[in-house]
Amino acid sequence: MKHFLLLTLAPLFLLIFSPPIHADLENDKQALLQFSALVPHGRKVNWNSTIPVCSSWVGITCSSDNNSVIAVRLPGVGLRGRIPNNTLGKLDRLTTLSLRSNLLSGSLPSDLLSLPSIQYVYLQRNIISGKIPASLSPRLISLDLAFNSLEGEIPLTVQNLTNLNKLLLQNNSLTGSIPKLNSRNLQYLNLSNNHLNGSIPSTISGFPNSSFLGNTGLCGPPLNQCSGVSPVPAPSPSPVNIGPTPPVAPTKDHLKKRLSKGAIIAIAVGGGVALLLLLLMAILCCLRKKDREGTGVLKGKGFGAGRTEKPKEDFGSGVQESEKNKLVFFEGCSFNFDLEDLLRASAEVLGKGSYGTTYKAILEDGTTVVVKRLKEVVVGKREFEQQMETVGRIGQHPNIIPLRAYYYSKDEKLLVYDYVSAGSLLARLHGSRDGEKPPLDWESRIKILMGAAKGIAHIHSAGGSKFTHGNIKSSNVFLSEDVNGCISDLGLATLMSFPAVPPRTAGYRAPETIETRKTTQKSDVYSFGVLLLELLTGKTPLQSPGRDDVVDLPKWVQSVVREEWTAEVFDAELMRNQNIEEELVQMLQIAMACVSKVPDMRPDMEEVVKMIEETRQSDSSSRPSPEAEGSNSKAPETNTP
Ligand SMILES: *[C@@H]1O[C@H](CO)[C@@H](O)[C@H](O)[C@H]1NC(C)=O
Ligand SMILES: *[C@@H]1O[C@H](CO)[C@@H](O)[C@H](O)[C@H]1NC(C)=O
Ligand SMILES: *[C@@H]1O[C@H](CO)[C@@H](O)[C@H](O)[C@H]1NC(C)=O
Ligand SMILES: *[C@@H]1O[C@H](CO)[C@@H](O)[C@H](O)[C@H]1NC(C)=O
Ligand SMILES: *[C@@H]1O[C@H](CO)[C@@H](O)[C@H](O)[C@H]1NC(C)=O
Ligand SMILES: *[C@@H]1O[C@H](CO)[C@@H](O)[C@H](O)[C@H]1NC(C)=O
Ligand SMILES: *[C@@H]1O[C@H](CO)[C@@H](O)[C@H](O)[C@H]1NC(C)=O
Ligand SMILES: *[C@@H]1O[C@H](CO)[C@@H](O)[C@H](O)[C@H]1NC(C)=O
């Protein structure tokens, strides 16, 4: 895996330029052109002899010297028909081939799995039929042919694949007995839902029964004992004892050890988290009901009493008596309270930011809103009001938390927003102050990210080319109830003085803004890139509050990748799901483009949205459910190779 990631990322970071294209690349190019000419596909595959292969062809990764193609990744692009002989099979330095989730049919050409350098093959979720070719490259590490229509026997040559780490063949029509797999490096195995028969070789009996279920003829551990009639391993059509016999005992021990450690922790943590989640859900449920009903004073009070008492916060001390009706609501807002009601509400501090303190306020009728009390506003009343008008107008978007009302006086500036119960991305990703942190899976992260990207893109397009958000960071992205990302704090940056040394946000700040002291749409893109890195790595660009040092995430990612421990870049929580590596790498590439040092090199936000959508389309178009996609994640180990 490490190896795979490294190879994929290498072109991004290697800045050594070497002489122009070689004959090797020309050969690879011709082979690929032939492939695309023979295999009907969607529009996304832009392979065209007039544009450079290594930099512009979709799904192609070249070696660092740009001399050969080392990876072809076209997941879910509508490829149909058979993979022709003598096309991809000519890419003799190809290490990674992913054509998963297409409509490829026919049998596999014999020259594909035997490519001399091939290590990672993802052809799952097609309709490939015929036999698995017997000639397999000894370098194979991952072979995923699941959810196809393959038939015939599993070739005995798999016994010789000493590097094999992942063999996924579930949901095919394979017959015969299971070869004695070399299990030394094998971590992921799934042979379920085939027509295999005979006894399960002892080398792989340590895998869970879900690796074998759905094969009526299979027996032996971990499934039922073979019937007494044939105590000897099932006679297979060809002799089973060709090739070296792999060690038996170590595997079992190996599995058990890791299982026990992993399982115990998983069960303990899982149980705890589940319990907490249940509790949380119950509380939220009650809460929401009350908010919706919103009838009468009692409910609001009852709610307040039901939780651990927090000291009532007062956020209206600067409001002058004569101005108590000056709360300015925006059009279309259904809230029905005045400033006096707001000041009477029971309030609780949600957070203290660089712009001021944020409160959760529960009004007497049960309505819950967020009140932001701004400090150090540097603009005058008129400018403030103009800015609020703009924000009210632009903020009409599902991915922006709407500003409902504001109050301005010399001593007090208050903003009223909808309350978002699911909290901020910062809290969700890194845990809140009380340390609670249920895992956030990739699907959710992508959804949040997509929401945030759309919100920012809307801000940029609706506000004109000069309008920026100016303060994109994970504490300003909130999760809506359906776990969508929503942007908050729209339009506030311009009201405030540009802080000279802002420790809490410096990690997100584009390098040029520190000098120019001005945010631009491109600097928003930079901040978004850091946010994306944060989601990919699980690391925060901000150190814990109270400490001023800032992690420069872009720099860190680059340094880690250079030091050749690329797999470590990604959040360990994400790496448990083995089938998203490619997507992670694609996302990392988008992030790195966003955090380019030179503003003009960064894509604009619309483009970023498109890029994310494209990786999504290519990866999820035929992915029926996350459960099926992560089907191998139930394998005994969770470590990545
Ligand atoms: C290649 O690209 C050029 C320019 O983008 C276009 O005119 C041409 O039709 C393309 N050729 C093929 C085979 O798609
Ligand atoms: C390889 O191609 C990439 C993308 O076009 C380019 O950035 C890089 O400089 C090239 N490397 C070499 C060694 O030519
Ligand atoms: C594929 O090509 C090889 C040699 O290039 C040939 O032996 C084989 O018969 C071909 N297979 C098919 C299905 O055309
Ligand atoms: C495995 O490799 C050995 C030596 O490389 C070879 O003799 C043997 O025939 C191979 N076995 C299979 C099943 O291909
Ligand atoms: C795999 O096969 C099982 C058993 O036939 C079936 O229930 C399941 O839906 C299949 N999964 C997919 C994704 O086709
Ligand atoms: C397994 O199935 C094959 C046919 O698919 C058959 O020839 C063989 O006898 C079966 N073996 C056992 C042990 O049932
Ligand atoms: C598979 O194993 C689990 C526990 O390891 C057991 O509960 C389950 O009944 C088994 N399923 C079958 C079909 O044997
Ligand atoms: C194997 O695949 C089947 C079908 O997708 C799935 O139900 C089962 O959980 C998988 N087993 C393992 C060990 O991943």
Confidence band (pLDDT; 50, 70, 90) for 172? very high
Quote the Cα angle for 601-10-189, to 5°. Answer: 125
Q: Relative to the alpha carbon of 577, which ligand is closest?
A: 8
Q: Rounded to the nearest whole angstrom, what is the distance from the C-alpha of residue 555 to the centroid of ligand 8? A: 39
Q: Rounded to the nearest whole angstrom, what is the distance from the C-alpha of residue 168 to the centroid of ligand 4? A: 22
Q: Rounded to the nearest whole angstrom, what is the distance from the C-alpha of residue 155 to the centroid of ligand 1? A: 42
Q: Rounded to the nearest whole angstrom, what is the distance from the C-alpha of residue 304 to the centroid of ligand 1? A: 66
Burial class (CB in 10 A: 0-12, 13-18, 19+), 498: middle
Q: Rounded to the nearest whole angstrom, what is the distance from the C-alpha of residue 242 to the centroid of ligand 4? A: 7
Tens digits of residue pLDDT in 38-92: 999 877 788 999 999 998 898 899 998 999 999 998 887 889 899 999 999 999 9
Cis amide linkage into residue 109, ω under 30° from 0:
no
Query: Mean pLDDT over residues 210-236, rounded?
Result: 77
Q: Relative to the alpha carbon of 181, which ligand is closest?
A: 4
Atom of ligand 2 nearest to the CA of 17: 13
Q: Rounded to the nearest whole angstrom, what is the distance from the C-alpha of residue 35 to the centroid of ligand 1? A: 16
Res 567: pLDDT: 60
Atom of ligand 4 nearest to the CA of 159: 13
Res 8: pLDDT: 45
- The residue whose CA has the least distance to atom 9 of ligand 5 is 171
- The residue whose CA has the least distance to atom 7 of ligand 4 is 243
Sorted by sequence, the CB contacts under 8 Å of residue 205 that are 6+ apart come out as 220, 221, 222, 252
Ligand 7 neighbourhood includes 209 CB (under 6 angstroms): yes
Q: Relative to the alpha carbon of 53, which ligand is closest?
A: 2
* Ligand 3 mutation pick, 35, 38, 82, 85, max ligand atoms within 8 A of CB: 85
Q: How many CA atoms within 13 Å lie on the side-chain side of 320? A: 7
562 has pLDDT over 50: yes
Q: Rounded to the nearest whole angstrom, what is the distance from the C-alpha of residue 628 to the centroid of ligand 5? A: 9
Say which amino acid occupies 48: N
Q: For 335-343, which contacts have Cβ atoms below 8 Å and span 24 or more sequence positions?
A: 335/367, 335/369, 335/404, 335/405, 335/416, 336/365, 337/363, 337/365, 337/367, 339/407, 341/365, 342/316, 342/369, 342/371, 342/414, 342/416, 343/315, 343/316, 343/319
Q: Chain centroid to CA 595: how far?
A: 18
Atom of ligand 5 nearest to the CA of 214: 4
How many angstroms separate the Cα of 388 from the Cα of each of 297, 329, 407, 456, 457? 31, 10, 10, 17, 19
What is the Cα–Cα distance from 288 to 184, expressed in whole angstroms?
Answer: 53
Q: Relative to the alpha carbon of 216, which ligand is closest?
A: 6
DSSP state of 604: P
Ligand 5 neighbourhood includes 213 CB (under 6 angstroms): no
Ligand 6 neighbourhood includes 236 CB (under 6 angstroms): no
More confidently predicted of 621 and 350: 350
More confidently predicted of 534 and 329: 534
Ligand 5 neighbourhood includes 193 CB (under 6 angstroms): yes
* Ligand 8 mutation pick, 171, 192, 196, 633, max ligand atoms within 8 A of CB: 192
What is the Cα–Cα distance from 98 to 254, expressed in whole angstroms?
Answer: 30
3-state secondary structure of 464: coil
Q: Rounded to the nearest whole angstrom, what is the distance from the C-alpha of residue 512 to the centroid of ligand 1? A: 38
Say which amino acid occupies 559: S
What is the Cα–Cα distance from 456 to 464, expressed in whole angstroms?
Answer: 12
* Ligand 6 mutation pick, 197, 219, 226, 227, max ligand atoms within 8 A of CB: 197
Residue 63, token pair as written in the block: 């070696």
Query: Mean pLDDT over residues 606-613, rounded?
Result: 91
Q: Rounded to the nearest whole angstrom, what is the distance from the C-alpha of residue 367 to the centroid of ligand 3? A: 72
| Least confident range of 144-148, 246-250, 339-343, 483-487 | 246-250
User: 545: how many CB neighbours lie within 10 A of its CB?
Assistant: 10
> Considering Cα of 133, then 134, then 135, then 140, what sign does the dihedral take?
positive
Ligand 7 neighbourhood includes 224 CB (under 6 angstroms): no
Tens digits of residue pLDDT in 521-547: 999 999 999 999 988 888 888 654 544
Burial class (CB in 10 A: 0-12, 13-18, 19+), 46: exposed
- In this structure, the strands spanning 328-329 and 69-73 are unpaired
Token pair 């491109």 is found at 522
Q: Chain centroid to CA 280: how far?
A: 24
Tens digits of residue pLDDT in 127-139: 999 999 999 999 9
User: 518: how many CB neighbours lie within 10 A of its CB?
Assistant: 12
- The residue whose CA has the least distance to atom 7 of ligand 3 is 110
Contact of 408 with 463, CB cutoff 8 Å: no
Q: Chain centroid to CA 372: how far?
A: 31
Confidence band (pLDDT; 50, 70, 90) for 319? low
Res 592: pLDDT: 87
Give the full edge-to-edge strand order of the sheet including 120-122. Answer: 60-62, 69-73, 96-98, 120-122, 142-144, 166-168, 188-190
Burial class (CB in 10 A: 0-12, 13-18, 19+), 98: buried
Q: Rounded to the nearest whole angstrom, what is the distance from the C-alpha of residue 67 to the centroid of ligand 2? A: 10
Q: Rounded to the nearest whole angstrom, what is the distance from the C-alpha of residue 171 to the centroid of ligand 5? A: 6
Ligand 6 neighbourhood includes 175 CB (under 6 angstroms): yes
Residue 121, token pair as written in the block: 């093959």
Q: Rounded to the nearest whole angstrom, what is the distance from the C-alpha of residue 192 to the centroid of ligand 8? A: 6
Arithmetic mean of pLDDT over the chain: 76
* Ligand 8 mutation pick, 190, 204, 209, 223, max ligand atoms within 8 A of CB: 190
